Homo-oligomer: A and B are copies of this chain.
Amino acid sequence: MKMKMKPFIVLAHHEPQSFCGALKDAAIDVFTQQGYVTQLSDLYHMSFKPTADWGDFVSPNNPDYLKYGAEQRYAYENGSLSPDIVLEQQKLSESDLIIFIFPLWWHSVPAILKGWLDRVLTPGFAYGRNQTFANGPLKGKRAMLVFTTGAEPERYDSKDDLGILEHHLHPIEHGTLRYCGLDVLPHYAAWQPAHVSAEQREKYLGEFRERIAALLEENRLE
């Protein structure tokens, strides 16, 4: 019997009442209705530390010179990563569907979420020599970016305006998540929730709930 999926939501928004918060609640609601227990990392609520530094290693291998990637690998192999990183890696390990929810800031993730990627996706755990893409350690898991924007979609159609959205997401979707072996699902963008009507916001939430429900259905059929 296939073990039941544990969905994992990584939320990076500073305001609990925000539309990102509503998207998070919608996802948890669908998961719960279908009997799944959601794991949540609400990075702001946790005061997640974004900065990669000495504090990430309980007993560094070379305390005289911080070679961050080498220390990450050493600490992963020796069980000496800081507890906050270990906890995030555990949640990732126990999940096969990871949903990142955030506002698109400067066409990318907010710093607190970039810090999660920088600190949690360590060598050894998330990638390694000859362990990338199809051979990535996180293979078999699915990931999805879900974000809100301040600008209209058509502004992301031109390199000369805000740039091509697919290009902006590529370093994260492909160069990071897929690189670690994750199967990246099409992202969900809620365009300008602060500027559209209440009806449009409800429409977004409905669409998003359907997307989430379809993912669970897909999972069940595997």
Measuring CB to CB, which residues of chain A are less than 8 angstroms from any residue of chain B? 14-15, 17, 44, 50-54, 65-69, 103, 105-112, 114-115, 117-119, 121, 150, 159, 162-164, 167-168, 170-172, 174-176, 179, 194
Interfacial chain B residues near A117, Cβ < 8 Å: 106
Interfacial chain B residues near A168, Cβ < 8 Å: 167, 170-171, 175
CB distance from A156 to the nearest CB of B (A): 9
Interfacial chain B residues near A114, Cβ < 8 Å: 106, 108-111, 114
The answer to whether B159 and A14 touch across the interface, beta carbons within 8 angstroms, is no
The answer to whether B50 and A115 touch across the interface, beta carbons within 8 angstroms, is yes
CB distance from A11 to the nearest CB of B (A): 14
Interfacial chain B residues near A109, Cβ < 8 Å: 114
Interfacial chain B residues near A54, Cβ < 8 Å: 14
The answer to whether B68 and A14 touch across the interface, beta carbons within 8 angstroms, is yes
The answer to whether A176 and B107 touch across the interface, beta carbons within 8 angstroms, is yes
Q: List 16 A-B contacts (CB under 8 A).
A: A14-B51, A14-B68, A15-B67, A15-B68, A51-B110, A67-B194, A107-B171, A107-B175, A108-B171, A109-B114, A110-B118, A111-B119, A114-B114, A167-B167, A167-B171, A168-B170
Interfacial chain B residues near A179, Cβ < 8 Å: 162
Which chain B residue lies CB-closest to A174? B163
The answer to whether A17 and B51 touch across the interface, beta carbons within 8 angstroms, is no
Asked, given contacts A51-B112, A67-B194, A111-B51, whether A163 binds B159 with beta carbons under 8 Å apart, the answer is: no
Interchain residue pairs A-B with the least CB separation, the first 4: A111-B115, A107-B171, A50-B111, A167-B167
CB distance from A173 to the nearest CB of B (A): 9
The answer to whether A159 and B150 touch across the interface, beta carbons within 8 angstroms, is no
The answer to whether A15 and B50 touch across the interface, beta carbons within 8 angstroms, is no
Asked, given contacts A50-B112, A52-B111, A167-B167, whether A66 binds B172 with beta carbons under 8 Å apart, the answer is: no
Which chain B residue lies CB-closest to A113? B111
CB distance from A128 to the nearest CB of B (A): 13
Complex Cα spacing A52 to B44, Å: 10
